[in-house]
Amino acid sequence: MIWRTAEKRMTSTVEYVATIEEVPPRRSEWRRLVRVFWRRKLAVVGLVIVLALIVVAIFGPLIAPYDPYKTNIGNKLAPPSSEHWFGTDAVGRDTLSRVVYGARTSLVVALGAVLLGAVIGQLLGLLAGFFGGWVSHVIMRLIDALMSIPMIVLALVISSVLGGGIKNVIIALAIGGIPGQCRMMCAQTMSVKENDYVLAGRTMGVSNWRIMLRHIYPNAFAPCLVIMTVSLGATILAEAGLSFLGAGINAPAAAWGSMIKDGYKYLLTNPVLSIAPGVFIMLAVFGFNMFGDGLRDALDPRLRGTL
Amino acid sequence: MTTYIIRRLLLGIVVLIVASIFVFLMVHVLPGDPLWVVLGENYINYSQEELDELRHVYGLDKPLIGQYFDWLGSLLKGDLGESIVYQVPVIDLLKRRLPVTLNLAVLALLISTICGLGLGVIAAIRRGKWSDTVVSVGANLGITLPNFWVGIVFIYIFAYKLGWLPTYGYTSPFDDFVTHLKMLIGPVLCLSVFGMAAQTRQTRSSMLEVAHQDYIRTAWSKGLTERVIVIRHMVKNGLIPVVTTMGMQVSFMFGGAVLVETVFNIPGIGRMMADGIGMRDYPVVQGGVLLMAVVIVLTNLVVDMAYAWLDPRIRYSYR
């Protein structure tokens, strides 16, 4: 409140503020972002793949040719044909339909885990970067300890302790995603808090929380967004790994990792059972990685074209 | 420099203590009785009195903090408990299985680092040319491949279809060196694909960033040859982020080993962890996680030393 009143007073008394406000910086900034992003062909390919994945995940029931849960023992382990493009699995379920439904599982888990990890990680990073001192020491040592355990192992242990299923896999993978978000937000906060507008806020008596959430967070968020996008791909890979080991999402639910695991037993006779879901994992991860790279280039001109 | 090393060492110890708390709590936040972890499936055969007595014997009736210090005490003496499934001390299992995983991981790390560095440098100095495009596309695809799936495809092509290599398993190099090498090709390749791709991307990126620095322009204007500029000025300075990637790779290698060793049925730490989790053999899982944490913290320590060697600014700031 104090901040707003002060802003108004400044606008009415100092003329040059009004001149600066006449320039619409946001619109041209957006245009620049879109232009840089659009110029990177791979980023556009990534965006197309991500959009296609979202469409498949939302409209799965309309796209899938068969019910992915319906078993048909009489037609088990059928090879690819015009009726079943990717054949059928050990209990006669249509593999293509399960791959389509698997997109939904992957996307829900990845989005859920990345968002949850980002909320916790960014909050911890904001606190560590803003307060520094012992707060930062405690938080960063916790993060270092989390990072000393490989992400997939950490998620595997947590998921097995909690007992599998979509909700628990999301929690397990979110914990694995906390360190990256926390470290990036901490570094960003430490640099953003040196700006004059933060000092101005402090001198006007704005509370720490308000400075953190209103003034630092929005200005420190962009690199975290890039990490979040790339993490979506890494989380899809990790979820597939967990499901492959049987500690993630298991049949009858359709998940790409567990489909590869179940198909592995029939590799010699029906290789498509485990190869097809792998190709889709690759596509999805490629899409998110390229989209994330494009986003980073657009948001950070310094790095443009180097990766 | 000594201050820097001591500081890093102390931080490493603190990190390990925090990690040990995580590992300890892992079993104690399990729903149900922690005694289940010790007794496994036999738990249901014990009466309530017997369970109470065992709880006293194992110190499980003490407060949590007391239990942690007891556990840490035996840990420092090298006692990691006994495996529920194999009925042998966990430390013996780790001793037997660690060399197998290290064999795999060290080879994979070497291959991914050497190839990644080479490809990254080539892509950077030939930026925009076809070789850069091929390497960049390959690296971008490489980081999207699930290593366990690459293993399955590898087995299908090279073992089932072409019959060139054995399907899966592990032979010690001391028993039969040629078979050992043949069996290692697939797992090492799968384990190094992601690292190689990540290292290539990182090397290319940091080399290109260094290429824009003023001292590189100065080096060109001094009339130095391209070889000298690339090797002496670009590679050494561009190595700093690359070393970070190498440190992180050790973590990826252990994580990847869990999956790759499962696909290729290799009796290493990774397979032990996957089986331990599957069979709820928590002492084994705790031992495995702790061992991984120790190796990763030690690696990070070495990486920090390497930073100080590569970047004089770090050395001098701690004088």
Contact list in B for residue A149 (CB cut-off 8 A) is 19, 22, 289, 292-293, 296
Residue A120 has which token pair? 């916790």
* Out of A156, A257, A268, closest to residue B258 by CB: A156
Is B289–A149 a contact, with Cβ atoms under 8 angstroms apart? yes
C-beta of residue A106 within 8 angstroms of C-beta of residue A239: yes
Q: Give the integer Cα–Cα distance in Å for B2 and B130.
A: 47
Specify burial of residue A271 (Cβ count, 10 A radius: 0-12, 13-18, 19+).
Answer: buried
B241/chain A closest Cα distance in angstroms: 13
| φ and ψ at residue B218, rounded to 5 degrees | -60, -45
Cβ contact (<8 Å) for A153 and B141? no
CB of B204 closer than 8 Å to CB of B135:
yes
Helix axes B282-310, B236-263, angle to 10 degrees: 160
Distances (CA, A) of B300 to B17, B247, B307: 16, 6, 10
CB contact under 8 A, B148 and A260: yes
What single letter denotes the amino acid at residue A106?
S
Cα separation, A3 vs B304, whole angstroms: 44
Pairs of residues, one from chain A and one from chain B, whose beta carbons lie less than 8 Å apart = 141
Q: Phi and psi of A88, rounded to 5°?
A: -125, 160
- Looking at chain B, which residue has its C-alpha nearest residue A293? B140
**To the nearest whole angstrom, how far is the Cα of B297 from the nearest Cα of chain A?**
6
CA of B225 vs chain A CAs: smallest distance (Å) = 24
Do B19 and A268 count as a contact with CB atoms less than 8 A apart? no
Q: Is A282 on the interface with B (CB under 8 A)?
A: yes
pLDDT score for B317: 64
- The answer to whether the CB atoms of A245 and B292 lie below 8 A apart is no
Please indicate whether, in this complex, the C-beta atoms of B205 and A245 are within 8 angstroms of each other.
Answer: no
**Residue of B27, B144, B203, B286 to mutate, testing the A interface (most A Cβ within 10 Å of its Cβ):** B144
The pLDDT tens digits of the residues spanning B123-135 come to: 988 888 888 889 9
* A119 and B CB contact within 8 Å: no
Structure confidence at residue B37 (pLDDT):
66
Q: Which residues of A touch B148 (CB under 8 A)?
A: 241, 244, 260
d(CA B188, CA B264): 11
Q: How high is the ipTM of this complex?
A: 0.84
Residue B244: the pLDDT is 75
The three-point CA angle A36-A42-A48 to 5° equals 95
In the structure encoding, which two tokens stand for residue A58, read together?
Answer: 């939302």
Q: Can you tell me the distance from the alpha carbon of B198 to that of B142, in angstroms, rounded to the nearest whole number?
A: 8
- What stretches of A148-300 show up as alpha helix (H) in DSSP? 151-162, 165-192, 196-203, 208-210, 217-244, 256-264, 272-299
All domains of chain A in start order, with CATH: 42-64+93-303 (1.10.3720.10)
Contact criterion met (CB < 8 Å) for B160 and A147: no
Domains in chain B, CATH or no CATH each: 32-79 (no CATH), 91-310 (1.10.3720.10)
With b for 16 or more beta-carbon neighbours within 10 A and e for fewer, the A182-191 pattern comes to bbbbbebbbe
Helices A256-264 and A272-299, axial angle in degrees (round to 10) = 150
CA distance B111 to chain A (A): 20
Q: Please name the member of A267, A285, A306 whose beta carbon is closest to the beta carbon of B152.
A: A267
Does the pTM of the predicted model rise above 0.90?
no
**Cα distance between residue B81 and residue B93, in whole Å:** 11
Nearest to A148 among B160, B263, B297 (CB): B297
What whole-number distance in Å separates Cα of residue B245 and Cα of residue B256?
15
Contacts of B19 in chain A (CB under 8 A): 145, 148-149
Are B31 and A168 in contact by the 8 Å Cβ rule? The answer is: no
Task: Nearest by CB to B258, from A42, A145, A152: name it.
Answer: A152
Q: pLDDT tens track of chain A, all 307 residues?
A: 444 444 444 444 444 444 444 444 556 777 878 887 888 888 899 999 999 999 999 998 888 888 888 888 888 887 888 888 888 888 888 889 999 999 999 999 999 999 999 999 999 999 999 998 999 999 999 999 999 999 899 998 888 888 778 999 999 999 999 999 999 999 889 988 888 888 898 899 889 899 998 889 988 888 888 888 888 999 999 999 999 998 888 878 888 988 999 888 898 888 899 999 999 999 999 999 989 888 887 876 554 444 4
Q: Is A260 exposed, middle or buried (0-12, 13-18, 19+ CB in 10 A)?
A: buried
